[in-house]
């Protein structure tokens, strides 16, 4: 047996470890999937659990909808098998010690010989997790210190991820629900474009089937959503808050939801929630940005849109019970907000935590930060969604280069065109104006054009 064969049987390097799984490249050898036993694939060994079932369901939906056209966006289960503990144990050449998840449960006697595990095969994405990609000092070396190119790729990744989430949210009603930095990998074999992995927490929104709703509610038992978790969308944190709120914790059992009167009629509960959110979010934002960015205006804006979004739930005529509030949020917002919030949150993190570096190479970085903060708004017609982000920047770029603008370069003319554009796209300009976005873009028009001139559009 040569060296290579040994690697295949053992499973290669441990390339990742999550809550309940070990990821190896090449895959651990099992289930007779010879075709995948090479370094182009990884295996994930995990418990047979809800995470696996969610992932399998998402993989099937994506494959069914997109055939082969998903591969540059998602890494999903290509093949899988189920094994019990004894069968896994018999894979005697497999180095169990490198996978702490496996050795942990060996020590723990509660696992019986019939405990089930799954091995799933995915394409191996060569590259870095988004978190590492956002690490300025590390990544710019990869781009041979071409920081401008680095920034452009970061922004293309933002636009690209908007297309990816549109593919699942809009076309298959699937919410990924866990788009943190380590579940997005920048694929160095595909123009440094991002691939989304790990659909373990995903769910489908289906208003015709109440089971989907109860499954969504059950997540609030399983996962530790908390209002302080800055990386969860406002809607998710709000549902957590009203389900778990001190006084109401006894209601935290979904069989009883229907009967709980809507206690939000007392707006102090909503105000209290907003205080928690604003405190935690801005402590976080201030901390990562080293207080270099001025958040005052943004905090005012943030409070206002949260009030506008949430106060309507205090109306007990429209929402007699707490369940009416939650079901309304589930039916109208959850699908469009969770993943898009995560993407915006990740990029705010990138801009703010690299504030010092980016301000040296990019005069537009303040605009991008303000733009992202406006678009984190939970109210849908006050923001851009999915492809409209990209279209908005493309529109302005083309406008600045157009003959009509070259002939009439006044702010007034620019602003009129902006209003028209927003009107045509059914987007309300309120927060864009409050946050000086139009003015700032106009003032940096030369840099704006320059930046997007050298932009490579892959799509």
Report the C-alpha gap between 106 and 89 in whole angstroms. 9
Contacts 24+ apart (CB under 8 A), 75-78: 75/122, 75/123, 75/125, 75/185, 75/195, 75/196, 75/197, 76/122, 76/199, 77/120, 77/121, 77/122, 78/36, 78/41, 78/121, 78/122, 78/123
Q: Site residues (CB under 6 A) for ligand ADP?
A: 15-16, 18-19, 21, 23, 42, 44, 51, 75, 122-125, 129, 182-183, 185, 197-198, 200
**In the complex, what is the shortest distance from the CB of residue 128 to Mg ion, in angstroms, rounded to a whole number?**
14
Q: Which does 19 bind (CB under 5 to 8 A by kind): Mg ion, ligand ADP, none?
A: ligand ADP
State which residue, 196 or 242, has the beta carbon closest to ligand ADP.
Answer: 196
State which residue, 156 or 183, has the beta carbon closest to ligand ADP.
Answer: 183
Which residues on neighbouring strands pair with residue 21, listed in sequence order?
A: 46
**In the complex, what is the shortest distance from the CB of residue 139 to ligand ADP, in angstroms, rounded to a whole number?**
16
**In the complex, what is the shortest distance from the CB of residue 367 to ligand ADP, in angstroms, rounded to a whole number?**
32
State which residue, 223 or 421, has the beta carbon closest to ligand ADP.
Answer: 223
State which residue, 29 or 124, has the beta carbon closest to ligand ADP.
Answer: 124
Element (H, E) at 195: strand 193-196
State which residue, 42 or 88, has the beta carbon closest to ligand ADP.
Answer: 42
Among positions 398-457, residues that touch Mg ion (CB under 5 A) are: none
Q: CA of 459: how far to CAs of 170, 364, 371, 380, in Å? A: 19, 23, 22, 25
**In the complex, what is the shortest distance from the CB of residue 58 to Mg ion, in angstroms, rounded to a whole number?**
13
**Residue whose CB is nearest to ligand ADP in the complex, by number:** 18
State which residue, 198 or 232, has the beta carbon closest to Mg ion.
Answer: 198
- Please enumerate in sequence order all residues whose Cβ is within 8 A of that of 336, keeping only pairs 6 or more positions apart, or say none: 169, 380, 385
**In the complex, what is the shortest distance from the CB of residue 41 to ligand ADP, in angstroms, rounded to a whole number?**
8
According to the binding rule CB under 5 A, does residue 183 interact with Mg ion? yes
Which residues on neighbouring strands pair with residue 20, listed in sequence order?
A: none
Q: Which does 152 bind (CB under 5 to 8 A by kind): ligand ADP, Mg ion, none?
A: none
State which residue, 177 or 183, has the beta carbon closest to Mg ion.
Answer: 183
State which residue, 194 or 227, has the beta carbon closest to ligand ADP.
Answer: 194
- Annotate each residue in 2-21 with x if it binds Mg ion (CB under 5 A) or - if it does not, as one string: ----------------x---
Report the C-alpha gap between 162 and 194 in whole angstroms. 11
CA atoms within 13 A on the CB side of 64: 10
Q: Which does 227 bind (CB under 5 to 8 A by kind): Mg ion, ligand ADP, none?
A: none
Coil, helix or strand for 184? strand
| Contact by Cβ (8 Å): 80, 63 | no
| Closest to 269 measured CA to CA, from 299, 296, 244, 297 | 244
State which residue, 134 or 245, has the beta carbon closest to ligand ADP.
Answer: 134
Choice from 198, 235, 281, 362 touching Mg ion (CB under 5 A): 198
Q: Which does 318 bind (CB under 5 to 8 A by kind): Mg ion, ligand ADP, none?
A: none
Report the C-alpha gap between 450 and 432 in whole angstroms. 23
**In the complex, what is the shortest distance from the CB of residue 376 to ligand ADP, in angstroms, rounded to a whole number?**
24
- Please enumerate in sequence order all residues whose Cβ is within 8 A of that of 303, keeping only pairs 6 or more positions apart, or say none: 274, 278
Q: How many residues bind Mg ion (CB under 5 A)?
A: 3
Give ∠ CA 275-276-278 in degrees, rounded to 5. Answer: 65
CA atoms within 13 A on the CB side of 167: 23
Report the C-alpha gap between 432 and 156 in whole angstroms. 22
Q: Which does 27 bind (CB under 5 to 8 A by kind): Mg ion, ligand ADP, none?
A: none
**In the complex, what is the shortest distance from the CB of residue 104 to ligand ADP, in angstroms, rounded to a whole number?**
14
Report the C-alpha gap between 216 and 201 in whole angstroms. 10
**In the complex, what is the shortest distance from the CB of residue 437 to ligand ADP, in angstroms, rounded to a whole number?**
34
Coil, helix or strand for 351? helix
**In the complex, what is the shortest distance from the CB of residue 182 to Mg ion, in angstroms, rounded to a whole number?**
6
Among positions 15-74, residues that touch Mg ion (CB under 5 A) are: 18
State which residue, 59 or 152, has the beta carbon closest to Mg ion.
Answer: 59
Q: Which does 44 bind (CB under 5 to 8 A by kind): Mg ion, ligand ADP, none?
A: ligand ADP
Residues found near Mg ion in the complex (CB under 5 A): 18, 183, 198
């Amino acid at each position: 047996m040569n060296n290579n064969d040994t690697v295949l049987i053992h499973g290669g390097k441990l390339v990742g470890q999550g809550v309940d799984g070990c990821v190896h490249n090449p895959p651990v050898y099992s289930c007779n999937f010879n075709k995948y036993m090479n370094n182009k694939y990884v295996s994930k060994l995990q418990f047979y659990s809800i995470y696996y079932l969610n992932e399998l369901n998402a993989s099937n939906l994506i494959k069914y909808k997109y055939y082969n056209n998903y591969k540059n966006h998602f890494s999903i289960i290509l093949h899988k098998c189920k094994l019990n503990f004894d069968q896994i144990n018999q894979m005697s050449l497999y180095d169990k010690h490198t996978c702490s998840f496996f050795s942990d449960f060996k020590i723990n006697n509660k696992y019986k010989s019939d405990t089930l595990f799954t091995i799933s095969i995915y394409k191996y994405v060569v590259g870095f997790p988004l978190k590492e990609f956002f690490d300025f000092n590390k990544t710019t070396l990869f781009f041979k210190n071409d920081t401008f190119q680095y920034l452009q790729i970061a922004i293309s990744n933002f636009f690209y991820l908007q297309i990816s989430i549109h593919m699942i949210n809009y076309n298959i009603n699937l919410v990924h629900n866990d788009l943190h930095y380590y579940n997005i990998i920048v694929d160095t074999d595909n123009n440094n474009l991002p691939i989304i992995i790990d659909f373990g927490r995903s769910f489908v929104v289906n208003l015709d089937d109440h089971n989907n709703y109860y499954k969504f509610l059950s997540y609030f038992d399983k996962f530790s959503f908390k209002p302080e978790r800055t990386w969860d969308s406002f809607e998710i944190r709000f549902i957590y808050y009203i389900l778990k709120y001190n006084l109401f914790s006894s209601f935290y059992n979904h069989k009883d939801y229907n009967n709980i009167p809507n206690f939000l009629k007392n707006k102090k509960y909503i105000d209290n929630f907003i205080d928690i959110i604003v405190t935690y979010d801005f402590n976080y934002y201030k901390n990562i940005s080293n207080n270099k960015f001025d958040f005052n205006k943004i905090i005012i804006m943030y409070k206002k849109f949260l009030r506008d979004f949430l106060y309507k739930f205090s109306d007990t005529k429209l929402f007699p019970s707490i369940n009416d509030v939650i079901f309304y949020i589930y039916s109208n917002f959850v699908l469009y907000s969770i993943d898009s919030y995560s993407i915006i949150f990740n990029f705010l993190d990138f801009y703010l935590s690299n504030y010092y570096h980016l301000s040296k190479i990019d005069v537009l970085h303040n605009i991008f930060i303000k733009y992202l903060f406006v678009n984190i708004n939970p109210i849908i017609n006050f923001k851009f969604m999915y492809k409209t982000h990209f279209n908005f920047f493309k529109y302005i770029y083309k406008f600045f280069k157009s003959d009509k603008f070259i002939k009439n370069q006044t702010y007034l003319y620019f602003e009129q065109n902006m209003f028209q554009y927003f009107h045509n796209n059914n987007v309300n300009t309120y927060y864009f104006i409050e946050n000086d976005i139009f003015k700032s873009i106009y003032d940096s028009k030369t840099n704006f054009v320059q930046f997007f001139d050298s932009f490579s559009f892959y799509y």
